[in-house]
Amino acid sequence: MDEIDQQLHRWMAQALAGDAGAYRRLLAEISPRLRRYFARRLHEPAEAEDLVQETLIAVHTKRETYDARLAFAPWLYAVARYKLIDHLRRRGVRRHVPLEEAGVLFDEADPEAGLARGDLDRLLAPLPARQRALLEDVKLKGMSVAEAAQRHGYSEGAAKVALHRTMKSLTARVAADED
Protein backbone atom coordinates (compact mmCIF):
# COMPACT_ATOMS: atom_id res chain seq x y z
CA MET A 1 0.00 0.00 0.00
CA ASP A 2 1.24 3.50 -0.74
CA GLU A 3 1.28 6.29 1.83
CA ILE A 4 -2.11 7.77 0.91
CA ASP A 5 -3.83 4.39 0.95
CA GLN A 6 -2.19 3.57 4.27
CA GLN A 7 -3.59 6.78 5.78
CA LEU A 8 -7.04 6.12 4.34
CA HIS A 9 -6.84 2.56 5.63
CA ARG A 10 -5.97 3.83 9.14
CA TRP A 11 -8.81 6.35 9.09
CA MET A 12 -11.29 3.72 7.92
CA ALA A 13 -10.14 1.28 10.61
CA GLN A 14 -10.45 4.03 13.23
CA ALA A 15 -13.87 4.99 11.88
CA LEU A 16 -15.04 1.39 12.13
CA ALA A 17 -13.87 1.47 15.75
CA GLY A 18 -16.10 4.52 16.36
CA ASP A 19 -13.72 7.46 15.77
CA ALA A 20 -15.96 10.14 14.23
CA GLY A 21 -13.03 12.50 13.59
CA ALA A 22 -11.19 9.87 11.57
CA TYR A 23 -14.36 9.22 9.60
CA ARG A 24 -14.74 12.95 8.78
CA ARG A 25 -11.07 13.09 7.67
CA LEU A 26 -11.58 10.00 5.52
CA LEU A 27 -14.65 11.43 3.79
CA ALA A 28 -12.94 14.81 3.32
CA GLU A 29 -9.96 13.10 1.66
CA ILE A 30 -11.89 10.78 -0.65
CA SER A 31 -14.54 13.30 -1.78
CA PRO A 32 -12.30 15.36 -4.11
CA ARG A 33 -10.69 12.18 -5.44
CA LEU A 34 -14.11 10.75 -6.28
CA ARG A 35 -15.15 14.07 -7.81
CA ARG A 36 -12.15 14.01 -10.17
CA TYR A 37 -12.69 10.32 -10.93
CA PHE A 38 -16.32 10.84 -11.98
CA ALA A 39 -15.66 14.17 -13.73
CA ARG A 40 -13.17 12.46 -16.04
CA ARG A 41 -15.77 9.89 -17.05
CA LEU A 42 -18.88 12.05 -17.32
CA HIS A 43 -19.48 15.29 -19.19
CA GLU A 44 -22.04 16.72 -16.80
CA PRO A 45 -20.64 18.15 -13.54
CA ALA A 46 -24.02 17.66 -11.85
CA GLU A 47 -23.99 13.94 -12.72
CA ALA A 48 -20.46 13.62 -11.34
CA GLU A 49 -21.48 15.35 -8.12
CA ASP A 50 -24.54 13.10 -7.79
CA LEU A 51 -22.29 10.06 -8.14
CA VAL A 52 -19.89 11.41 -5.53
CA GLN A 53 -22.80 11.72 -3.11
CA GLU A 54 -24.16 8.27 -4.01
CA THR A 55 -20.71 6.77 -3.49
CA LEU A 56 -20.24 8.48 -0.13
CA ILE A 57 -23.63 7.17 0.97
CA ALA A 58 -22.67 3.68 -0.22
CA VAL A 59 -19.36 3.90 1.65
CA HIS A 60 -21.31 4.83 4.75
CA THR A 61 -23.98 2.17 4.44
CA LYS A 62 -21.58 -0.59 3.33
CA ARG A 63 -18.63 0.32 5.56
CA GLU A 64 -19.10 -2.83 7.63
CA THR A 65 -18.31 -4.90 4.52
CA TYR A 66 -14.82 -3.40 4.34
CA ASP A 67 -12.18 -5.91 5.43
CA ALA A 68 -9.64 -3.89 7.43
CA ARG A 69 -6.94 -6.46 6.63
CA LEU A 70 -7.01 -5.30 3.01
CA ALA A 71 -6.09 -2.06 1.23
CA PHE A 72 -8.79 0.62 1.25
CA ALA A 73 -8.37 2.07 -2.27
CA PRO A 74 -9.48 -1.06 -4.17
CA TRP A 75 -12.57 -1.36 -1.97
CA LEU A 76 -13.44 2.31 -2.51
CA TYR A 77 -12.75 2.01 -6.21
CA ALA A 78 -15.07 -0.98 -6.49
CA VAL A 79 -17.88 0.97 -4.81
CA ALA A 80 -17.30 3.97 -7.11
CA ARG A 81 -17.03 1.80 -10.20
CA TYR A 82 -20.32 0.03 -9.48
CA LYS A 83 -22.02 3.39 -8.89
CA LEU A 84 -20.71 4.60 -12.25
CA ILE A 85 -21.83 1.42 -14.02
CA ASP A 86 -25.30 1.66 -12.44
CA HIS A 87 -25.54 5.30 -13.51
CA LEU A 88 -24.52 4.51 -17.10
CA ARG A 89 -26.98 1.60 -17.27
CA ARG A 90 -29.82 3.82 -16.08
CA ARG A 91 -28.98 6.19 -18.92
CA GLY A 92 -28.74 3.32 -21.42
CA VAL A 93 -25.03 3.81 -21.98
CA ARG A 94 -22.78 0.78 -22.45
CA ARG A 95 -19.20 1.61 -21.66
CA HIS A 96 -16.28 -0.47 -20.38
CA VAL A 97 -14.68 0.73 -17.14
CA PRO A 98 -11.51 -1.34 -16.74
CA LEU A 99 -10.45 -2.79 -13.42
CA GLU A 100 -6.85 -1.82 -14.11
CA GLU A 101 -7.73 1.71 -12.98
CA ALA A 102 -8.15 0.64 -9.37
CA GLY A 103 -4.81 1.90 -8.19
CA VAL A 104 -4.89 5.05 -10.27
CA LEU A 105 -6.97 7.00 -7.75
CA PHE A 106 -4.28 6.81 -5.11
CA ASP A 107 -0.98 5.99 -6.80
CA GLU A 108 0.53 9.47 -6.65
CA ALA A 109 0.30 12.50 -4.39
CA ASP A 110 -1.29 14.33 -7.33
CA PRO A 111 -4.28 12.19 -8.35
CA GLU A 112 -4.52 13.91 -11.74
CA ALA A 113 -0.93 12.88 -12.47
CA GLY A 114 -1.82 9.35 -11.40
CA LEU A 115 -4.81 9.31 -13.72
CA ALA A 116 -2.73 10.69 -16.58
CA ARG A 117 -0.04 8.07 -15.92
CA GLY A 118 -2.71 5.36 -15.99
CA ASP A 119 -4.00 6.65 -19.33
CA LEU A 120 -0.46 6.78 -20.69
CA ASP A 121 0.30 3.25 -19.48
CA ARG A 122 -2.84 1.93 -21.24
CA LEU A 123 -1.90 3.77 -24.44
CA LEU A 124 1.64 2.41 -24.44
CA ALA A 125 0.81 -1.12 -23.22
CA PRO A 126 0.30 -2.65 -26.72
CA LEU A 127 3.76 -1.53 -27.85
CA PRO A 128 6.58 -4.06 -27.96
CA ALA A 129 8.75 -3.69 -24.83
CA ARG A 130 11.86 -2.45 -26.65
CA GLN A 131 9.89 0.11 -28.66
CA ARG A 132 8.05 1.32 -25.56
CA ALA A 133 11.28 1.66 -23.57
CA LEU A 134 12.85 3.70 -26.39
CA LEU A 135 9.83 6.01 -26.56
CA GLU A 136 9.71 6.47 -22.78
CA ASP A 137 13.42 7.26 -22.58
CA VAL A 138 13.28 9.91 -25.30
CA LYS A 139 9.83 11.43 -24.88
CA LEU A 140 9.24 11.03 -21.14
CA LYS A 141 12.68 10.90 -19.54
CA GLY A 142 14.32 13.43 -21.86
CA MET A 143 17.21 11.31 -23.10
CA SER A 144 18.71 12.18 -26.45
CA VAL A 145 17.90 9.89 -29.35
CA ALA A 146 21.59 8.85 -29.49
CA GLU A 147 21.65 7.94 -25.78
CA ALA A 148 18.42 5.97 -25.96
CA ALA A 149 19.45 4.25 -29.19
CA GLN A 150 22.68 3.03 -27.63
CA ARG A 151 20.89 1.91 -24.48
CA HIS A 152 18.36 -0.18 -26.44
CA GLY A 153 20.62 -1.53 -29.17
CA TYR A 154 19.42 0.62 -32.08
CA SER A 155 21.52 2.64 -34.47
CA GLU A 156 20.67 6.32 -34.15
CA GLY A 157 18.93 6.30 -37.54
CA ALA A 158 16.92 3.19 -36.68
CA ALA A 159 15.90 4.76 -33.37
CA LYS A 160 14.65 7.89 -35.17
CA VAL A 161 12.64 5.76 -37.58
CA ALA A 162 11.23 3.62 -34.75
CA LEU A 163 10.24 6.72 -32.76
CA HIS A 164 8.59 8.30 -35.79
CA ARG A 165 6.59 5.15 -36.59
CA THR A 166 5.63 4.69 -32.94
CA MET A 167 4.39 8.27 -32.62
CA LYS A 168 2.46 7.91 -35.89
CA SER A 169 0.76 4.71 -34.69
CA LEU A 170 -0.07 6.23 -31.27
CA THR A 171 -1.54 9.31 -32.95
CA ALA A 172 -3.71 7.08 -35.13
CA ARG A 173 -4.82 5.03 -32.11
CA VAL A 174 -5.81 8.15 -30.15
CA ALA A 175 -7.68 9.54 -33.15
CA ALA A 176 -9.55 6.23 -33.56
CA ASP A 177 -10.49 6.21 -29.86
CA GLU A 178 -11.95 9.72 -30.16
CA ASP A 179 -14.30 8.66 -32.98
Contact between 96 and 41 (Cβ < 8 Å):
no
Which contacts qualify for 85-88: CB closer than 8 Å, 24 or more apart? 87/42, 87/47, 87/50, 87/51, 87/54
Closest CA to 51 of 66, 30, 72, 29: 30
- What average pLDDT does this structure show over 91-116? 54
Share of the chain above pLDDT 70, in %: 83
Which domains does the chain show, CATH number per domain?
A: 3-119 (1.10.1740), 126-178 (1.10.10.10)
- Report pTM: 0.52
**Per-residue pLDDT reduced to its tens digit, 42-56:** 878 888 999 999 999
Rounded CA gap, 59 and 45, in Å? 21
Mean pLDDT of 15-22: 93
| Mean pLDDT (whole number) for 8-33 | 94
Yes or no: say if 114 and 107 are a contact pair by the CB < 8 Å rule. Answer: yes
Per the prediction, the chain carries an average pLDDT of 83
- Tell me: pLDDT of 112 over 60: no
pLDDT band at 159 (very low <50, low <70, confident <90, very high): very high
Residue 145 contacts by C-beta under 8 Å, 6 or more apart in sequence?
138, 156, 159, 160, 163
What is the structure's pLDDT at 162? 92
Pick from 45, 15, 42, 46: which is nearest to 30 by CA? 15
pLDDT at residue number 117: 63
